């Protein structure tokens, strides 16, 4: 058995992949399949990436739907140092929103919770 987070976009998966490639130094593209023809030509049929040892699946949903991502589900990233946390926060947070700005919240010496410009929620924590 294997479990993976699955992120469903509506035509923005390719742009999300570009952001994650830029944000994560250890980004690895495990699989990338695009629709070759039809109304979704060029969109992501299935992608698998690996960041921080976690494999995440992404794709562009063919049907348009009224829901998107919610911060109640997020990916928690344990950063190696302050510079890494701040760099990730800057890159991932550009055009997104901040739920908790970078700071010391008692449970962590340095933490932030943000949503990237696609609405995907990330918690960044300094070990």
pLDDT of the residue at 71: 92
**pLDDT tens per residue, range 46-71:** 999 999 999 999 999 988 889 999 99
Rounded Cα distance, 39 and 65, in Å: 16
Give Cα 89 to chain centroid, integer Å. Answer: 12
pLDDT of the residue at 18: 98
3-class secondary structure, 11:
coil
Average pLDDT, the chain: 96
Domain 6-60 coded CATH 3.30.720.100: yes
Q: Of 42, 22, 34, 44, whose CA–CA distance to 117 is shortest?
A: 22
pLDDT at 123 over 90: yes
pLDDT of the residue at 39: 87
| The listed CATH number (3.30.479.30, 3.30.720.110, 3.40.50.170, 2.30.30.140) that belongs to domain 74-126 | 3.30.720.110
């Amino acid at each position: 058995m294997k479990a993976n987070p699955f992120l469903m976009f509506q035509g923005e998966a390719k742009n999300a992949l570009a952001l994650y490639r830029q944000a994560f130094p250890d980004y690895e593209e495990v699989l990338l399949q695009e629709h070759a023809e039809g109304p979704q030509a060029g969109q992501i049929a299935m992608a698998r990436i690996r960041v921080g040892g976690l494999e995440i699946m992404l794709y562009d949903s063919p049907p348009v739907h009224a829901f998107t991502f919610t911060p109640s589900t997020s990916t928690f990233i344990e950063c190696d140092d302050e510079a890494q946390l701040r760099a990730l926060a800057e890159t991932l947070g550009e055009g997104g929103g901040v739920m908790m700005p970078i700071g010391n919240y008692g449970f962590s010496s340095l933490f932030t919770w943000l949503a990237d410009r696609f609405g995907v929620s990330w918690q960044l924590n300094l070990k």
